[in-house]
């Protein structure tokens, strides 16, 4: 090996060693920094009292609160009719198709009577109501009888939302009670309606009663067959003192909230009015502007040490 190659080899080896040393030093410095941070965090944690609860608070405020019954159901056109032929034969022609408007007694399809040796005029299948064609069931040439469905006609200027109300809520519903409706197809839209039909019986299997909500559908966005989330508004009160429902603790049928008192939690008995998923009305025990603890309640007791952290 000549001197030039030996010098090149030594230069490369020295460069690799220097790079390795620099990398090792960088890793060592990073480890020291992490260790220092870890020790700092551990020191901070050690300074926190082990029996002190970290909690969040919110002030009791005036709100309008609604007593709502949340339930799911399905949407149906206000009127629907399945059309059948009046004679046996073959489907000669579909005159109207899905989405076409139709008037009562207007021909929807034509049936060719199937009687050898006899010639008849095509028999019409008329619509029995005003609306639109929701579905065409048969293709041209299909054999049909008076029991074969030809088309579905729907009147969707208004829709019905059919829900089953559990027995325990039946006493809260009434005719013309307002309702709000949401569907997955339009997650940012809320449709309104009112109860217009209540079944007089409770189903013995489901322990529920069928209720129908009537809703305007002039926009035609609500479709028959859609799944709907319905909130029946059983009652509402304005400008009442409320707290988040997460602040309510119930023991032996008595409701309580915890309020911060200096550096401790104080349990206060409260009386409740209307409530929903988000807020509960307070009719006694807490007044507007009082701080109540809304999180960090697990294991909290009257007199427990607390530290409020609302950041």
Q: Same structural domain for residues 175 and 227?
A: yes
Name the least confident of 42-46, 95-99, 178-182, 247-251. Answer: 42-46
How many folded domains does the chain comprise?
A: 4
Give the Cα separation of 72 and 303 in Å (integer).
43
User: pLDDT class for 286, splitting at 50, 70, 90?
Assistant: very high
Instruction: Please tell me the predicted confidence (pLDDT) of residue 30.
Output: 45
Per-residue pLDDT, averaged over 139-160, amounts to 94
Cβ-contact 71, 164 below 8 angstroms: yes
Decide if 80 is inside a domain. Answer: no
- Which pTM does this prediction carry? 0.64
Residue 12 is part of which domain span? 3-47
Percent of the chain scoring above 90 in pLDDT: 71
Instruction: Please tell me the predicted confidence (pLDDT) of residue 3.
Output: 46
Q: Same structural domain for residues 254 and 278?
A: yes
Average pLDDT across the chain, whole number: 86
Q: Which of 119, 149, 179 is the last residue of a domain?
A: 149
Give the Cα separation of 82 and 129 in Å (integer).
10
Decide if 130 is inside a domain. Answer: yes
Residue 125 has pLDDT above 80, yes or no: yes
Q: Same structural domain for residues 232 and 278?
A: no
- Residue partners of 298: CB distance under 8 A and separation at least 6: none
């Amino acid at each position: 090996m000549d001197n030039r190659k030996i010098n090149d080899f030594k230069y490369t080896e020295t460069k690799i060693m220097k790079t390795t040393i620099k990398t090792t030093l960088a890793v060592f410095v990073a480890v020291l920094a992490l260790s220092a941070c870890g020790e700092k965090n551990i020191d901070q944690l050690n300074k926190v009292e082990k029996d002190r609860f970290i909690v969040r608070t919110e002030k009791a405020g005036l709100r309008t609160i609604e007593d709502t019954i949340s339930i799911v159901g399905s949407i149906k056109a206000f009127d629907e009719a399945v059309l059948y032929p009046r004679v046996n034969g073959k489907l000669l022609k579909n005159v109207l198709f899905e989405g076409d408007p139709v008037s009562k007694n207007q021909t929807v399809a034509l049936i060719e009577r199937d009687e050898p040796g006899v010639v008849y005029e095509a028999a019409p299948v008329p619509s029995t109501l005003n609306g639109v064609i929701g579905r065409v069931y048969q293709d041209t040439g299909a054999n049909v009888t008076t029991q074969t469905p030809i088309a579905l006609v729907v009147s969707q200027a208004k829709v019905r939302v059919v829900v089953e109300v559990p027995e325990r809520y039946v006493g809260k519903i009434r005719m013309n009670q307002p309702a709000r409706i949401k569907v997955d197809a339009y997650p940012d839209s809320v449709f309104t309606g009112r109860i217009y039909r209540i079944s007089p019986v409770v189903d013995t299997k489901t322990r529920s009663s069928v209720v129908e909500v009537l809703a305007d559908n002039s926009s035609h966005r609500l479709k028959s067959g859609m799944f709907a989330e319905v909130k029946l508004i059983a009652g509402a009160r304005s400008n009442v003192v409320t707290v988040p429902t997460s602040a309510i603790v119930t023991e032996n049928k008595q409701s309580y909230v915890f309020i911060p008192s200096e550096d401790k939690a104080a349990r206060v008995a409260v009386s409740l009015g209307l409530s929903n998923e988000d807020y509960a009305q307070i009719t006694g025990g807490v007044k507007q502007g009082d701080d109540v603890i809304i999180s960090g309640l697990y294991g909290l007791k009257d007199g427990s040490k607390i530290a409020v952290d609302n950041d």
